[in-house]
Structure 1
Amino acid sequence: MHFGSLPYKTKQFFFVLIKLSIVVGAFYFIYQKLVKNADLDFYQFLVFLRENDAFSPKNVCFLFFLTFLNWFFEILKWKILVTHIKKISFKNALEQSLGALTASLFTPNRIGEYGAKAIYFGASKRKQVMLLNLISNMMQMTVTVILGIIGLSLMHSKYNLDINYFKVSRFIVLIIIVGIFTALGLKQNRFKIKGFSIERLKLFLNKLPVKTHITAFGLSVLRYLIFSFQFYFLLQIFGINVSYFNGMIVITTMYLLASVIPSIFIFDVIIKGSVAVYLFAIVGVNEFTSLCIVTIMWLLNFVIPSVFGSYYVLNFNFPKTKSF
């Protein structure tokens, strides 16, 4: 970030203005999504929660505990990955993870997270930090895809989903065509993910210790199990009588389908809501309940952490040394 030859006080003013804009923008989008949601009336949602006796202090505390675990493992994963290029404390990892969440809340596919985490480091390390963030997200996506495919297969066999095989076959043909072009791109090392060539990504991955790969991937699995169980626990709170196995079949399928749809992150709740309404209707869950659960999950795992992250955004300062 450069401000040219502007006076120091002017630079500081613009810097503070940018930080305030990020925080205000994040809160504005949160407000818009909650209060002006065409799919779920916010006031009706509040009344429903207030009238639901299942939301006891014990249940609320447990939900917050699961949120804490979810983000604890995410922050720990980031700390372990970054240690490859620079040792940082858990507090540093906390600041970077939550600050980046706030900054990326309204950016397409969380793209803002890459730049937000990178600016915590000196210029010489920023590209490596962005690669580490890409690896972290790829690990989480891999877990989502693997468990989601298993869930989708089980759901199709168990509930005999009404699938338009003609549309599916067209989609498969499209995937094959994309795969062929991808393979050709890989041979020429021109194919890029998030702006990074496959060759560069492979070299960087090979430099990461095997222990780091295993630990980070294991933490990704733990995170998935935690927030998917949190979703199931909310189903129980709302009185949905479904076994853990059957509930997880639908939940894993939902996260898979929602993850493959590109979106602005602030509207992630809308996409998950639409997918959840369709899938949970198959097991007898009404639309309002599905939307309430998805909204609560969004509030617990993204909105509340981003509120804490706004503190780190407002208190952010560029690293003083290039070696950080």
Structure 2
Amino acid sequence: MFTIKVAILIGAAYFIYDKLTNNSQLDFATFWTQLEHSKLLHFSTISVLLFISILNWFVEIVKWKTLVNSFKEISLWESAAHTLGGLTASLFTPNRIGEYGAKALYFQKSERKRVVGLNFLGNVAQLLATIFFGMLGGLFFILHFELTLPWIKVWQIVFLLMIIATLLIVITKQKIIQIKGFSWGRMRDFVRNVSGGIHLKNCSYAVIRYLIFSHQFYFLLLFFGLNTSYFLTMSTIAVMYLITSLIPMLFIFDVVVKGSVAVWLFGYLDIPELSILTVVSLMWILNFVLPSIVGSYFVLNFSVPKSNEKSVVS
């Protein structure tokens, strides 16, 4: 177990170092020059940015605690260990899917399927918040710039997605392809067994967290000469998060994909490419690099549960 922990920490450290020093879109020297010119390197500014990042992950930690408390009481410290330790351990997995397994390891074997389901509910709530604000932002963005979308292609994609979704439901219901421990009936029952209050809190925390990190992005843009209206800027940020959240990608390419999408979208607002790439890199450092460094402490101190504990149903 110790060897695995060390391997995870070394891998995470190398990944962060490689991304900071070998960014194909923005080399470190240019990144640092941009920071100096933006006047971000002040104690008060850095303190505010760190506070926002801490608040962002605190909300996620509270959200996870709320979900787990639906069947078992855990402390805020334990929730922090699950959340940040899971982040660190999932750095190299597609769309952070490794987070599911990492969080499940903190629980008894009999509890792990439930934990995976709860983690899924948490991620779905965050995705739904992103889609909701992204669609509102997209509508405002399209109307403002009077963009003409290729509606035929859009409807073709929507139709294709509907067919794929229908086939997946039919295949699963008819048990054409069986996945151990999974069925639509079990999923439906699992969601229903989680109280409405927990679902409401889960979605509320997801919305709060979305508002926190999207406004952090806006706050950073202000230091790079942003002179566009608040609503137009926030709509562009919303579209950026919507697009990047729907693109299947390896988490290791997350900052690259977000950078490319952001440069394209903020080009409509006449914001320089280097400024956007710097902001995207800063958001990555503040909300993933620093939390994963804290998470490395929890990974190093992780131990497999030894005995069953009493569970409670709320």
The answer to whether the Cα contact below 8 Å between 2:140 and 2:232 also exists between their aligned partners in 1 is no
Whether 2:49 is the aligned partner of 1:63: answer yes
Count of residue correspondences:
310
**How far off is 1:193 after superposition?**
10
Distance in 1 separating the partners of 2:85 and 2:199: 24
- Report the Cα offset of residue 154 of structure 1: 1.4
| Matching of residues 1-324 of structure 1 within 5 Å | 15-161=1-147, 163-185=149-171, 187-188=173-174, 196-323=182-309
CA offset digits 1:267-308 (Å, max 9, x no partner): 111111111010000111111111111100000000000000
Alignment-mate amino acid for residue 312 of structure 1: F
**Cα distance in 2 between the residues matched to 1:110 and 1:194:** 22
Distance in 2 separating the partners of 1:252 and 1:36: 28
Given residue 294 of structure 1, which amino acid in structure 2 is its aligned partner? V
TM-score, length basis structure 1: 0.90
Tell me, yes or no, if the aligned pair for 1:189 and 1:198 is still in contact at 8 Å: no
> How many angstroms apart in 1 are the aligned matches of 2:279 and 2:39?
15
Q: Which sections of structure 1, spanning at least 5 residues, go unmatched?
A: 1-14
Q: Which consecutive residues of structure 2, in runs of 5 or more, have no partner in the other structure?
A: none
Deviations 1:16-43 (A, max 9, x none): 1100001111111111111111111111
State the distance in 2 between where 1:153 and 1:67 align: 28
RMSD: 2.0
2:74 is paired with a residue of what secondary structure? coil
Deviations 1:52-91 (A, max 9, x none): 3244322211111110110011000000100112100000
Instruction: Please tell me the residue identity of whatever aligns with 2:197.
Output: K
Deviation at 1:173, TM superposition (A): 3.3
Distance 2:246 2:222 in 1: 27
Counterpart of 2:227 in 1: which secondary structure? coil
Native 8 Å contact 1:190 1:198 kept in 2? no
- Indicate conservation of the 8 Å contact 1:185/1:191, yes or no: yes
Could you state the TM-score of these two structures normalised by the residue count of structure 2?
0.93
CA–CA distance in 2 between the matches of 1:104 and 1:225? 24
- Kindly state the Cα deviation for residue 164 of structure 1 after the two structures are TM-superposed: 3.7
Identity of aligned residues (%): 45
8 Å CA contact 1:66, 1:227 repeated in 2: yes
The Cα of 1:263 is off from its aligned counterpart by 1.1
| Kept after mapping to 1: 8 A contact 2:34/2:275 | no
Alpha-carbon spacing, 1:229–1:123, altered in 2? closer, same or farther (3 Å): same
Residues 110 and 265 in structure 1, CA contact (< 8 A), matched pair in contact too: yes
Distance 1:170 1:59 in 2: 46
Distance across 2 between alignment mates of 1:294 and 1:193: 38
Q: What SS class does the counterpart of residue 299 from structure 1 fall into?
A: helix
Q: Which amino acid aligns with 1:170?
A: Q
Q: Structure 1 residues 142 and 195 mapped into 2: Cα distance closer, same or farther (>3 Å)?
A: farther
Instruction: Please tell me the residue identity of whatever aligns with 1:300.
Output: L
- Give the secondary-structure state (helix, strand or coil) at the position aligned to 2:23: coil
**TM-superposed deviation, 1:168:** 2.7
Distance, in Å, in 1 between the alignment partners of 2:51 and 2:205 is 17
Q: Report how far residue 105 of structure 1 moved.
A: 1.1
Return the alpha-carbon distance in structure 2 between the equivalents of residues 93 and 172 of structure 1.
38
Stretch deviating more after TM superposition (142-151 or 44-53): 44-53
In structure 2, relative to structure 1, the CA distance for the partners of 1:82 and 1:297 (3 Å cut) is: same
- Taking a change above 3 Å as real, the CA distance of residues 19 and 287 of structure 1, as seen in their structure-2 partners, is same
CA distance in 2, matches of 1:206, 1:230: 35
